[in-house]
C-alpha cells in the first residue's frame, strides 16, 4: 500500500482536550475555539459529548455550545454518545456525526462507561442502528488499543475483534485509541496489520495520546501502511479523566507540519491553526504542547519583533 496523498484530520481538541481541563471553560470560549478551527480549514471536529455531567462536568454544556455554532455545510461536527439518550440529544442539536466509545479491556470499560465490553456492544447496537438510519456518520472508538492503565498489555487480537464487532454494528470508521500514549511505532504497525485483517484500512483511524512522545512516529508508521484518518488535538490538549497518567493527544499543529513538509495534504492552514492554539492556551493559562507551534511562534517573534 502506498502512502496516502491526503490525510483527513479529525480534530478532537474541543472534546478530548477540554474534557480533561480542571478549569471551567466558558461556552463562548469553546464556540470561539471551534470557529477558529473551522477557519483554519478543519472539516471534522469533535465538538463535545453527551455523557453524565457528574462524571465529565466539562462537557455538560455541549448542547449550549452547539446551539451557538453556525458552521459551513462542508464542516462535520460530531459528539460522543454513550447511549440512546446521548444520540437523541445529538440529533436534537442537528449533529451530522456521532461516536460511540468502547474499550479493549474489561477494567477500562467498567471505569469509563460503567459496563463490560459485551455490555457496551449490546448498548451501542441500537444506538448505531438508529444513528445510521438517521443518516449520521458514526465512528467507534476503541480505547486502550496499545495498553491499559489498569490491565497493562493488550493483545492486538482483542482490539481487532472489537473493531470487527463495532464495524458490524454499522460504525463507518474505527478509531484505534492509544489512550495512555504508551505504544511505539512497530507496535502500532502490528496493531493496524492485525485490525486490517478484519476491516479495510480505509475504515481505520488512529488516535494517539503523546504521553511517551511516540505519537508522531506512531502516526507516520500507520500512514505508511495506508491509514488516512488521524485524530489530533489543537495545542496537544487532552486526556481521559478515567486514564490515570495519560497526557494530551498529539498536537494538530505538529501533525499538520509533519504532513505539509512531507508533501501530504491536510487542507489545514498551519498559521491559522497556530492562532487557534494560541487563543485556547491563553484562555487556559497554559503553554502549548505543540513543538511546531512553539518553533513557528518563535520564528514569528524574530521576524516581527514587538
Ligand atoms: P451509568 O452509570 O452506567 O448509567 O453511566 P446510568 O444510566 O445510571 O447514568 C448515570 C448518570 O448519568 C445518571 O445521572 C444519568 O441520568 C446520566 P444521575 O442520576 O447520576 O444524576 N446520564 C446521562 N447524562 C447525560 N447524557 C447522557 C447520559 N446517560 C446517562 N447520555 C455513562 C453510563 C456512559 C453515561 C457514564 O458512565 C458516563 O457518562 N461516563 C463518562 C464517559 C466519558 O465521557 N469518558 C471520557 C470520554 S472517552 C475518552 O476520552 C477516550 C477517547 O478519547 C479515545 C481514547 O483516547 O482512548 C474517546
Ligand atoms: Mg482520547
Residue 55 near ligand 1, beta carbon < 6 Å = yes
Cα torsion angle, 17, 99, 212, 265, sign:
negative
pLDDT attached to residue 247: 87
Ligand 1 mutation target, pool 52, 188, 206, 240, most atoms within 8 A of CB: 52
State the angle between helix axes of 117-133 and 84-92 in degrees (0 to 180), rounded to the nearest 10: 30
**Model pLDDT, residue 122:** 98
Instruction: Give the architecture (CATH level 2) of 99-250.
Output: Alpha-Beta Barrel (3.20)
User: Ligand 1: does its nearest atom lie under 6 Å from the Cβ of 114?
Assistant: yes
List, in sequence order, every residue forming a beta bridge with 231; answer none if it has no partner: 10, 207
Residue in 93, 171, 240, 281 annotated catalytic: 240
Of 98, 58, 102, nearest in space to 78 by CA = 98
In angstroms, what is the span from residue 301 Cα to ligand 2's centroid?
Answer: 32
Which ligand has the minimum distance to the alpha carbon of residue 120? Answer: 1
Ligand 1 atom with least separation from CA of 177: 57
- pLDDT higher than threshold 80 for residue 77: yes
In tens, the pLDDT along 19-76 reads: 998 888 999 999 999 999 999 999 999 999 999 999 999 999 999 999 999 999 999 9
Q: Given a cut of 90, is residue 121 above it in pLDDT?
A: yes
Binned at pLDDT 50, 70 and 90, residue 91 comes out as: very high
Give the nearest ligand 1 atom to 239 CA: 50
Q: What is the dihedral of CA 179, 184, 190, 193, to 10 degrees?
A: 70
Instruction: Say what the pLDDT of residue 23 is.
Output: 82
Of all residues in the chain, the percent with pLDDT exceeding 70 is: 99
pLDDT in tens, 141-196: 999 999 999 999 999 999 999 999 999 999 999 999 999 999 999 999 999 999 99
Q: Residues 70, 76, 77, CA angle at the centre, nearest 5°?
A: 65
Domain coordinates in residue numbering, the chain: 99-250
Please state, for a pLDDT cut of 90, what percent of the chain lies above it: 93
For the CA of 177, the nearest ligand: 1
Band the pLDDT of 86: cuts 50, 70, 90.
Answer: very high
Contact between 146 and 183 (Cβ < 8 Å): yes
Q: What letter would DSSP give residue 15?
A: I
Residue-level pLDDT at 305: 74
CA 167 to centroid of ligand 1, rounded, Å: 22
Q: Give yes or no for a contact between 210 and 248, defined as CB atoms under 8 angstroms apart.
A: yes
Side-chain-facing half-sphere of 303: CA atoms under 13 Å: 6
Ligand 1 pocket test: pick from 16, 51, 89 the residue with the most ligand atoms within 8 Å of its Cβ.
Answer: 51
For residue range 273-290, list pLDDT tens digits in order. 999 999 999 999 999 999
The tally of CA atoms less than 13 A away on the side-chain side of residue 78 is 25
Per the listing, cell 449550549 goes with: 64
Arithmetic mean of pLDDT, 194-199 = 98
Instruction: Indicate if 222 belongs to the active site.
Output: no
Provide the pLDDT confidence category of residue 1 given band limits of 50, 70 and 90.
Answer: low
Ligand 1, residue 85: give the atom nearest the CA.
31
Q: Is the CB of 124 under 6 A from ligand 1?
A: no
Average pLDDT over residues 227-238: 96
Amino acid at each position: 500500500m502506498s502512502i496516502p496523498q491526503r490525510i483527513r484530520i479529525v480534530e478532537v481538541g474541543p472534546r478530548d482536550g477540554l474534557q480533561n481541563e480542571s478549569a471551567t471553560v466558558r461556552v463562548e470560549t469553546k464556540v470561539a475555539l471551534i470557529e477558529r478551527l473551522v477557519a483554519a480549514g478543519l472539516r471534522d471536529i469533535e465538538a463535545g459529548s453527551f455523557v453524565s455531567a457528574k462524571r465529565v462536568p466539562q462537557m455538560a454544556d455541549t448542547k449550549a455550545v452547539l446551539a451557538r455554532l453556525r458552521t459551513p455545510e462542508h464542516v462535520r461536527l460530531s459528539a460522543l454518545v454513550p447511549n440512546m439518550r446521548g444520540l437523541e440529544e445529538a440529533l436534537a442539536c442537528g449533529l451530522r456525526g456521532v461516536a460511540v466509545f468502547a474499550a479493549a479491556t474489561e477494567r477500562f470499560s467498567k471505569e469509563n462507561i460503567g459496563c463490560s465490553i459485551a455490555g457496551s456492544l449490546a448498548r451501542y447496537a441500537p444506538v448505531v442502528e438508529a444513528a445510521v438510519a438517521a443518516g449520521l456518520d458514526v465512528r467507534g472508538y476503541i480505547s486502550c488499543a496499545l495498553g491499559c492503565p489498569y490491565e497493562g498489555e493488550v493483545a492486538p487480537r482483542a482490539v481487532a475483534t472489537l473493531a470487527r464487532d463495532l464495524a458490524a454494528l454499522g460504525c463507518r470508521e474505527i478509531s484505534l485509541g492509544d489512550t495512555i500514549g504508551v505504544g511505539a511505532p512497530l507496535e502500532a504497525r502490528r496493531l493496524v496489520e492485525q485490525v486490517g485483517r478484519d476491516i479495510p484500512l480505509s475504515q481505520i483511524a488512529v488516535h494517539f495520546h503523546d504521553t511517551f512522545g511516540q505519537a508522531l512516529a506512531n502516526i507516520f508508521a500507520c500512514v505508511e501502511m495506508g491509514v488516512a484518518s488521524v485524530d489530533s488535538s489543537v495545542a496537544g490538549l487532552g486526556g481521559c479523566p478515567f486514564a490515570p497518567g495519560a497526557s494530551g493527544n498529539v498536537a494538530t499543529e505538529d501533525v499538520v507540519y509533519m504532513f505539509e513538509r512531507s508533501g501530504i495534504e491536510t487542507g489545514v492552514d498551519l498559521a491559522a491553526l497556530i492562532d487557534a492554539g494560541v487563543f485556547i492556551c491563553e484562555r487556559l493559562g497554559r503553554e502549548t504542547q505543540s513543538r511546531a507551534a512553539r518553533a513557528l511562534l518563535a520564528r514569528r517573534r524574530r521576524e516581527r519583533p514587538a
